[in-house]
Amino acid sequence: MTITPDVRSGLTLSGAVGLTPWRAADVDDAFAVYGAAAVTSWPCPQVDRVADLAAMRALVEQWGREGLGAPHGRWAVRRLDDGGVVGGATLLPLPPGDEDTGMTWQLRPDADAQLAEETAFLVASQGFAHGLDEVFALVRPGADTTAIRRNGMYWVGETSKYFGLDLQVYRLRVADLDRVAPEGHHPPS
């Protein structure tokens, strides 16, 4: 299956992957992501490992009922060449107060690292296309920040404001996402 752009489906495109709403048919692929301990141990907020297909089915159904308004959402990350699900991504208001917006992405353990960068770019682009000025990625100390930094996000500090955890905070603003900007115009790494 090849993915083609369709505004009605909510598809957001990049070079290798697209974001689409989760579908009931995605349960097995979703479980390959959210059932893997290696995937669910590092995101923030921490994603509990899904125990079985029945629990995954219930979660995918819940995501479909959430009714999050743009720019927020939960998406399946699909390869453009064959439509296969390689992960999941979110753009959600952060507690307390829902004043900030956080982005996450979780990819299958066998996914190419380049797909993480493409996914992060897509999620941020989704927010900016709908009027957000900035998005945040919250990272547990010691986590790999390659995809975050390669998309222009920069470290702004540490906090326990979110979820009561000590976290590294990375921020991305619209201008920071400009992939064609000269290297000297990118934020400090």
CA–chain centroid gap for 136, Å, is: 11
Which residue ranges form the domains of the chain, and what is each CATH number? 7-185 (3.40.630.30)
- What pLDDT is recorded for position 7? 36
Residues 6+ apart with CB under 8 A from 58: none
In three-state secondary structure terms, 95 is: coil
Mean pLDDT of the 114-141 span: 89
How much is the pLDDT for 179? 57
* Residue from 85, 146, 141, 49 nearest 74 by CA: 85
Structure-token pair, residue 126 = 């989704």
- Average pLDDT in the 140-168 region? 85
When pLDDT is cut at 50, 70 and 90, the band that residue 3 belongs to is very low
Phi, psi angles (nearest 5°) of residue 50: -80, 130
User: For 23-61, what is each residue's pLDDT tens digit?
Assistant: 999 999 999 999 987 775 555 666 778 999 999 999 999
